[in-house]
Chain A
Amino acid sequence: MAGDFQPTIVGFLCNWCSYAGADLAGVSRMKMPATMVAIRVMCSSRVDPLFVLKAFLNGADGILVAGCHPGDCHYQTGNYYTRRRFALTQRVFNELGLETNRVRLSWVSASEGGRFQEVVTGFSETIVKAGPSPARTEVFL
């Protein structure tokens, strides 16, 4: 099963660090699973927890939120709020018995093409193990 399952991961990447990191990974021709489709935001703090929920209910097998490392936010403190909101989101998922391993927060800087590759590869493996999201074909949402 896991073999032929090609997950779809929605990745919210901040413009200044993680998106640049993703570009760098590409420029450096780093290969990674074609599972993650990026949505560019200026700052990870734009990622409303409802976006994550929406992506999950719409059938995303995984949702990644990625931003500058704490302390390096291009907008000074945005990613600290990102972290709080993500913590809230994941905790709510956990309390409702929704699979918390389908949502992930990672810090990737503009110079960390390699790290971006690791994050995408690692997360993809997790998701492949987890299998397709039950929300994808659910009718009664």
Chain B
Amino acid sequence: MKRFQVPGTPDEAVRELLGFLMEQERIRGAFVLAEVNPGGFAYTLIADRQLLGRAAPTVPLMPVNGGRMVSRLTTLEPVPEPTAVVLRPCELRALFELVKLGQARLDNLLLISCTCGGVVPTRSVLGGIDPVLEKHRDALESGVTWDGLRDTCRVCAEFVPKGADVTVALVGKDTRQTTDMLAETEKGERFLEGLSPSSESEPDTGMLERVGEERAGHRPAVLDRFSPDALGISGLISVFGRCINCHACSNACPVCYCNTCHFESADAEQKPGTVSDELDQRGGLRLPVGTIYYHVGRMLHVSLSCVGCGMCSDACPVNIPVASIFTRLAGSVQGMFDYLAGRDAEEKIPTSTFEAEELKEVGA
């Protein structure tokens, strides 16, 4: 792959890149995180070069999952002209999942991603982002995952993007003066052509492995409290008991792609007539009804496509660690079909295909 060394910090370098691509008229727009108001960040489709100054491509925040936002942009049709999108690896994987689900199109997209040092809970920057930025930069440079990150980021094993055209090297790099960009595809090389002097190179796999191991080290602490023997019905009830049934988790989830969620549809609604039966049977009933049904049901629906981005936990107003449970579960169910959500955009989602000779053990 070709390595382009671009002057400036990652943010400056990516802005430089996007400006260059616009100037060269290689792209019509850039889809990237930007500071839409002081201290407020949102994904933004920028068509005017002047606005690139507000772009904050690598700020360690994920107010929404960018993959889901790109699907908003391309659900009905591909973008009409070349457009650069800057996404974190889990957002990219969400995008690929959504492509398989007919919710997004990749045509005309230049996929820019990064080796990801994780993001912080969105709420944690309400008091101002600067302290976070400092801590995060140091952590990135030394390639360690610090405790301010989202739980799912701290245990993320997929922080190196798959299927990106360009990868910005963040993790374990000194990026104060210059930032490395790796053109991973022929398309990437074509777009970056002339950006800056380039050289052939390979990623520093040794360092990336070390980071991977370090994150794996956090898994027990973050995930194991949701092991089977810790859950069960009573476990689920103590985890989800405080749920206020706002469904923010599914609303924030990039792979919950339905317009009307089954659990909000008429089909899932309780019928007044059945309440008496429930009382006969149980003597009581938690309200609103169907909390566990909703959460476990959602696991049945999306665990195969879960990319572990952590949006669900981030959006939960009562701090339920939804993402940790999903991440643990997703590893298991996806492993069962030797599948990794979003590792590419072609692979069939396990439930949309089958093999005649498989899973003999389940049919007794």
A associates with B: yes
CB within 8 Å of B: which of A91-141?
91-92, 94-98, 104-107, 134-141
Of the candidates B290, B333, B362, which one forms a contact with A105 in the assembled complex, judged by CB atoms under 8 Å apart? B362
Residue pair B363, A105 in contact (C-beta under 8 Å): yes
Tell yes or no: B38 within 8 A of A by CB: no
Residue pair A83, B354 in contact (C-beta under 8 Å): yes
Q: How far is the CB of A38 from chain B (nearest CB, A)?
A: 18
What does the 1/0 interface line of A28-61 toward B look like (CB < 8 Å)? 0000000000000000000001100110010100
Q: How far is the CB of B355 from chain A (nearest CB, A)?
A: 8
Of the candidates B299, B337, B362, which one forms a contact with A92 in the assembled complex, judged by CB atoms under 8 Å apart? B299
Given the known interface contacts A88-B304, A91-B332, A141-B291, the answer about A106 and B363 at a Cβ–Cβ threshold of 8 Å is yes
Of the candidates A83, A98, A136, which one forms a contact with B232 in the assembled complex, judged by CB atoms under 8 Å apart? A98
Residue pair A141, B329 in contact (C-beta under 8 Å): no
Interface of B is mostly: helix
Given the known interface contacts A81-B354, A139-B284, the answer about A92 and B329 at a Cβ–Cβ threshold of 8 Å is yes
Residue pair A95, B228 in contact (C-beta under 8 Å): yes
Of the candidates A70, A92, A98, which one forms a contact with B233 in the assembled complex, judged by CB atoms under 8 Å apart? A98
Residue pair B300, A140 in contact (C-beta under 8 Å): no
Tell yes or no: A12 within 8 A of B by CB: no
CA distance A79 to B356 in the complex (A): 10
Chain A residues closer than 8 Å to B363, beta-carbon distance: 70, 83, 86, 105-107
Chain B residues closer than 8 Å to A90, beta-carbon distance: 362
CA distance A57 to B297 in the complex (A): 11
Chain A residues closer than 8 Å to B281, beta-carbon distance: 59, 136-137
Q: How far is the CB of B83 from chain A (nearest CB, A)?
A: 36
Task: Tally A-B pairs: CB < 8 A.
Answer: 118
Q: How far is the CB of B298 from chain A (nearest CB, A)?
A: 10
Q: At the interface with chain A, which of B9-17, B150-158, B177-185, B235-243?
A: B235-243
Chain B residues closer than 8 Å to A98, beta-carbon distance: 231-233
Given the known interface contacts A50-B300, A81-B351, the answer about A71 and B336 at a Cβ–Cβ threshold of 8 Å is no
Tell yes or no: A2 within 8 A of B by CB: no
Residue of B nearest to A123 (CB): B364
Chain A residues closer than 8 Å to B350, beta-carbon distance: 84, 88
Residue of B nearest to A136 (CB): B281
Residue pair B296, A87 in contact (C-beta under 8 Å): no
CA distance A97 to B229 in the complex (A): 6
Residue pair B237, A141 in contact (C-beta under 8 Å): yes
Residue pair B235, A57 in contact (C-beta under 8 Å): no
CA distance A106 to B237 in the complex (A): 30
Residue of B nearest to A104 (CB): B364
Tell yes or no: B131 within 8 A of A by CB: no
Residue pair B236, A96 in contact (C-beta under 8 Å): yes
CB within 8 Å of A: which of B307-345?
328-329, 332-333, 336-337
Residue of B nearest to A134 (CB): B233
Name, among B237, B300, B304, B364, the residue most crowded by chain A CB atoms within 10 Å (CB to CB).
B300
Chain B residues closer than 8 Å to A80, beta-carbon distance: 354-356
Tell yes or no: A85 within 8 A of B by CB: yes
CA distance A81 to B355 in the complex (A): 9
Residue pair B300, A88 in contact (C-beta under 8 Å): yes
Tell yes or no: A89 within 8 A of B by CB: yes
Tell yes or no: B230 within 8 A of A by CB: yes
Chain A residues closer than 8 Å to B299, beta-carbon distance: 92, 96
CA distance A92 to B332 in the complex (A): 8
Residue pair B333, A86 in contact (C-beta under 8 Å): no
Tell yes or no: B292 within 8 A of A by CB: yes
CA distance A97 to B296 in the complex (A): 12
Q: How far is the CB of B239 from chain A (nearest CB, A)?
A: 10
Chain B residues closer than 8 Å to A107, beta-carbon distance: 363
Tell yes or no: B285 within 8 A of A by CB: yes
CA distance A138 to B278 in the complex (A): 10
Residue pair A71, B233 in contact (C-beta under 8 Å): no
Of the candidates A92, A94, A140, which one forms a contact with B237 in the assembled complex, judged by CB atoms under 8 Å apart? A140
* 12 other A-B residue contacts (CB within 8 Å) besides A50-B297, A88-B333, A88-B351: A53-B293, A53-B300, A80-B355, A86-B362, A92-B300, A94-B332, A95-B333, A96-B296, A97-B235, A134-B232, A134-B234, A141-B292
Interface residues of B (CB under 8 A from A): 227-237, 241, 262, 281-286, 289-293, 296-297, 299-300, 303-304, 328-329, 332-333, 336-337, 350-351, 354-356, 358-359, 362-364
Q: List, sorted by A's number, 6 A–B pairs whose CB atoms are closer than 8 Å.
A: A53-B293, A53-B296, A87-B336, A87-B359, A89-B300, A137-B281
Interface residues of A (CB under 8 A from B): 49-50, 53-54, 57, 59, 70-71, 77, 80-81, 83-92, 94-98, 104-107, 134-141
